[in-house]
Structures are given as structure tokens and as C-alpha cells.
Amino acid sequence: MPASQSAPLPAAQGGAQGGAREAAQAIKGTGRAAGVAVAGVLLSGLAASGLLIGQPPLASRGAGAEIMTVAATDIIEASASLDPAKAFALAAAARQCRAPLAYITLSNAPGEPDSFIRIRSGAYISPPYHVGAAPMRVALPFPNPYSVGRGQLTVEGRQKGLRATLYPTWVSPGGRNGNVIDIWWKTDKPCGG
């Protein structure tokens, strides 16, 4: 007998009246299970949106991908990937917690030609990067004041197969210039936590 059909109760177990009681209890039990399932889904949704853990919902952070902050212990090493003319000032501001640095990891998809790019973040323009299949971590200032929590990066140059490890990973649609990445970041670690 298929699972969706039920066998009639024998008379010894209460016959039609017993079947009605059993059906009512089964429905009542299903209602509890459904209520628990609905509550679980709602709590999961609240946790995912950040409301239970004190973070604003993703929608308020802006659409796009999350970019990470350079840890305070990594600022000096990270500054080596910045524009040499601006690296000292940017690293000093990050060490003093005035303007933290962000980072992304760049790589090209296997089998794609290398990318030759620059990244625009607000008024900052990165030095040229030659990106191959091996991951390359680069630092850059946030495109807007850190407290804003969102902005855009623009990738310029030949970039077929380029990937930027953000959350989620951004994959270039190709082309040569002006691919925009909408980004957001958590604003609770201005010193690079």
C-alpha cells in the first residue's frame, strides 16, 4: 500500500471512532511539527539577516559582495601591493585606525590568458597588476569612508577570466574597461580586527 494511503483500523482498536481519534491526534501532531518547522525557518531567516546577532540585514548593507578589512598585523605586508606613491600614507592611516585598508584576492580562471588590470576604489587607482592563475592578494583603501559600509570598485584593463575573491566571488564578464563591483563591508572593525 502506498505511504500516502492508510489502512483502516481494525474494530479491536476502536474502529471508526478510534480512527477519528487517531486522525485528530495525527493532525494535531502534524500541526505541532509544522509549527516547529515554521519557527525554525523564521529563526534561520532572522539569523541569516543578522538581526539575531546584532548585524543590520544584508539589504541595508547594499547589494553586492562583501570585502574584508586588512588585519592590523598585516598592514605593513599588505601595503606592498599599494601604489608606491601612496602606500606610506595609506598604511599610516590604517595603523592609526583613521582609514582601514581592504583586501581582495585576484586570480584568473585556469586556461584563460593573464589579466592586466588596475582597480579604482574611490579616488584611488591601483598600480597595474599582472594576474595569472596563481592567487594574488592586493590591498586597497575602501572606496567610501569606512563608516558608510558600501561602495564600488571598478576594474580596468584586459580581464577575461578574472576572479576577485570576495563573498561571493566576483567573476569578470570580460571586456577591457569599467567593470563595476558593488561591495559592502562590516563597519565594526576600523582597526582591522
Residues 127 and 144 in one domain: yes
Tell me if 78 is assigned to some domain.
yes
Tell me if 102 is assigned to some domain.
yes
Tell me if 98 is assigned to some domain.
yes
Residues 68 and 51 in one domain: no
The strand pairing partners of 117, in sequence order, are: 129, 157
The number of folded domains in the chain is 2
Tell me if 155 is assigned to some domain.
yes
Tell me if 130 is assigned to some domain.
yes
- pLDDT score recorded for residue 193: 63
Residues 80 and 174 in one domain: yes
**Distance between CA 20 and CA 34 in Å, rounded?**
21
Tens-digit pLDDT profile for residues 135-169: 999 999 999 999 999 999 999 998 889 999 999 99
**Distance between CA 46 and CA 144 in Å, rounded?**
28
Tell me if 34 is assigned to some domain.
yes
Tens-digit pLDDT profile for residues 141-150: 999 999 999 9
Tell me if 192 is assigned to some domain.
no
Tell me if 4 is assigned to some domain.
no
Give the closest residue to 103 by CA, choosing from 52, 53, 146, 141: 141
Q: What DSSP string describes 140-159?
A: EE-SS-GGG-EEEEEEEEE-
Least trusted range by pLDDT, from 60-64, 111-115, 117-121, 152-156: 60-64
pTM value surpassing 0.75 = no
**Distance between CA 180 and CA 177 in Å, rounded?**
9
Residues 70 and 85 in one domain: yes
**Distance between CA 24 and CA 106 in Å, rounded?**
60
Cell 595609506 sits on residue: 90
Residues 83 and 160 in one domain: yes
Residues 98 and 124 in one domain: yes
Least trusted range by pLDDT, from 15-29, 49-63, 129-143: 49-63
Is the Cβ–Cβ distance between 66 and 166 less than 8 Å? yes
pLDDT at 48 over 50: no
Least trusted range by pLDDT, from 3-12, 99-108, 114-123: 3-12
Calculate the CA 72 to chain-centre distance.
Answer: 21
- pLDDT score recorded for residue 174: 82
The strand pairing partners of 73, in sequence order, are: none
Which domain covers residue 151, as residue numbers?
Answer: 60-184
DSSP 39: H
Residues 49 and 71 in one domain: no
For the chain, where are the alpha helices, taking DSSP H only? 15-49, 58-61, 75-78, 84-95
Is the Cβ–Cβ distance between 81 and 106 less than 8 Å? no
